[in-house]
Structure 1
Amino acid sequence: MLRSMYSGVSGMKGFQTKLDVIGNNIANVNTTGFKSSRVMFKDILSQTSAGATAPTDERGGANAKQIGLGVSIGSIDTLHLAGSAMTTNNPTDLRIDGNGFFAVALTADAEGGNIFLTRAGDFHVDGAGNLVNSDGMFVLNTGGGAITVPQGSSFSIGSDGVVTMRDAEGEVTTDNQIARVVVPNPEGLEKAGGNLYRVGQNAMGPDAEELDLTAEGELNVAAGSIVAGQLEMSNVDLTDQFTEMITAQRGFQANSRIITTSDEVLQEVVNLKR
């Protein structure tokens, strides 16, 4: 069979994956804290029909003759670029102006394996006074526990994540600070659905045993400040996505034409017996 036919098949599969990623990006154009993805291609191992020869005093060198065998997916990258800010004036809507992530967990006394990261700061106060996300997961403080606002208290959240609470008697407490987590390699985070990220094996350094919720010193600067009353919107650029969609569509069509042409050539070979 012709190599070009299999190359065309690999190209169609690759561009189909690219269209899948683009479709997901466009579907999440209004998703809070969503980070777009992109597909990068790489060529498949080439077949060498003649090797290279080195030049000598009597004869010049010759380059190798290689025939490519198609394309495959090199990577699917998540682009952790900041999304635009949307002002809501809701005191529990939070946006991180920096590289940090909020930490949330299913239980108030979360441990490393139960902690998820998110850039979506649309938080709420539940019936028990806990600060939670839209799915009821607890927003964690720097000590790894839940943030609780006692009933009857007014509160505000500062740029450093400190929750200032004032009770009916006017007493002020600042015991809670919202955790901001810095990840060395954000592209190593794995999307877990619900605007959440799971810490993958390549997200942290080899010596990191668990997430650092304190973000002290230099990490505190890298984590960024918290802006109350704002949300970070999706970083999807529709102009780029539709341009990439056109490119992927034409690439898919061109590869299908390769298969059609290869089929016509094979048909001519079969007809030689007439």
Structure 2
Amino acid sequence: MLQALFNGLSGLFGFSKDLDNIGNNISNMNTPGYRGQSAFFENLADGDGTQLSQEFTDLSQGSIQQTGTSTDVAISGKGLFVLHDTQGNVFYTREGHFQFDADGYLVDDTSGYRVAALNSSGGLTDFTIANLTTLAAQPTTKVNFSGNLAKATAGQTGPNTQQVPGIQIFDAAGGMHTLTATLTDNTATTAGSWLVSVKDDTGNVVGTGEVRFGPDYTPQAGFSSFDLSLKYNGTAQKVTLNFGTPGAYSGTTQMPGATASIGAKVADGHGVVGISQLSFDTTGSLQVTYSDNERKQGPQLALAYVPDEQDLQLHQGALYSAPQQLSVSLGKAGSSYFGNITGGSLELSNVDLTRELTEMIIVQRGYQASSRVLSITDSMLQQLYSSTGGGGG
């Protein structure tokens, strides 16, 4: 009979700890990347009651929800993100709520640990955009002209000139300069000839040249472009003024009877530009878009694979560590057994609230039954004590 007391007590302890586990699951149902924990009871030898066996992790995929935050990432399929702290301790997680710190390192927003990327040899390195935050200035090397140059009309007095203002070019330091090109009809002297004079924003002439048009009204070979030799901040800079390809009508033309429509477009060059947008592709590579719409590829997220994730040790939040004897493979998303990355999204907890509430009811009933065993056993012991002389005068 005394053993019944200990059996009932073991039931109370077991159900109480199981309720702790259920409570932890429910409290983390909104924790991104959290995986529910389940515990099972096992019988003790010789009828000595019960105890909780090893806890198990629910490894099923949580639902993926868009967040609109470009640095949030989720894994669709197998794999774990890799983090490390300042002491070099490595952790793994499915929670991908990341952000860039002031130094350009991608860090876990919850723990502050740095996120790992893959280096060229497949090893781990810090995920950083310190060298990608801006694009260095690029000097302009070419300006393309297009449209039509109209000949002088009958009765027109003075020189036939057409002007192209507002040509904005960049020097090697990122400074912007505005040029104005003036084209003067020289066909009276040379057939199809137009003289070009270019001034800077102070009104100084910085270059001259000539463009000629053939019988097909397109630029002639040898007269379709010329170079400006400029100098800014002590640095020489050559800018080619291109008026089109001989025989092609996509550049500058001299069509009879057509109105004047000459214009210019700078082909290249920019000042120092910053990042306008960040995004992750399905392989976990960061795509960087700058304010001039130029794009560059950044680092690639490292993913870890463990054959049996039940062997991982759970830490705070949704972080895991691997025992020394555990084999961990590294790779990239979309390859081998690794899943794909979904950018701007988070994997939510895989806790099923309905299931947890059902388990809670079962635990409550088990706890009540174990408590009843103690109560009845105590009553029987009291009755036995009374019947064996406990009540004698």
TM-score, normalised by the number of residues in structure 1: 0.81
CA offsets per residue over residues 94-153 of structure 1, 9 Å max, x none? 00001100001124xx85xx1110111111111111111113211100231111123224
Match of 1:269 in 2: 384
Structure 1 equivalent of residue 341 of structure 2: 226
Shift of 1:266: 0.9
Percent identity between the aligned chains? 35
- Aligned equivalent of 1:31: 31
Match of 2:74 in 1: 95
> Partner residue of 2:314?
191
TM-score (norm 2): 0.58
SS for the counterpart of 1:120 is coil
Q: Which residue of 2 aligns with 1:147?
A: 127
The question of whether the paired residues in 1 share the 8 Å contact of 2:37 and 2:57 is answered with: yes
1:124 aligns with 2:247: no
User: 2:10 & 2:102 partners in 1: Cα distance?
Assistant: 54
Runs of 5+ consecutive residues of structure 1 not aligned to the other structure = 47-67
Which amino acid is 1:188 matched to? D
- Work out which of the residue numbers 250, 264, 288 in structure 2 matches 1:165: 288
* Residues 25 and 37 in structure 1, CA contact (< 8 A), matched pair in contact too: yes
Q: 1:84/1:189 Cα in 2 relative to 1: closer, same or farther (>3 Å)?
A: same
Give, as a single letter, the amino acid of the residue that structure 2 aligns with 1:131: L
Distance 2:107 2:97 in 1: 9
* Pairwise CA RMSD: 2.1
1:160 Cα deviation (Å)?
A: 0.8
Residue pair 1:141, 1:213 contacting (<8 A) in 2 also: no
Equivalent residue letter for 2:29? V
Query: Aligned ranges for residues 13-92 of structure 1 at < 5 Å?
Result: 13-46=13-46, 68-92=47-71
More strand by share: 2
Please state if 1:212 is matched with 2:335.
no
Which has the larger share of helix? 1
Aligned length: 241
Unaligned 5+ residue runs, structure 2?
134-273
Give 1 or 2 for the bigger CA radius of gyration: 2
Q: Deviations over 1:198-219 (max 9, x none)?
A: 11357x2xxx3xx433359xx9
Deviations 1:159-185, CA, capped at 9 Å, x for gaps:
111223355677654352100111111
Tell me what 1:62 maps to.
none
Contact 2:331 2:338 in 1 (8 A): no
Deviations 1:206-250 (A, max 9, x none): xx3xx433359xx93322000001111111111000100010011
Listed as ranges, the matches of 1:250-265 within 5 Å are 250-265=365-380
For 1:166 and 1:11, how far apart are their aligned partners in 2? Answer: 60
In structure 1, what is the Cα distance between the partners aligned to 2:25 and 2:324?
A: 24
Farther off after superposition, 36-45 or 169-178: 169-178
Give the AA of the match of 1:104.
L
3-state SS in 2 of match to 1:177:
strand
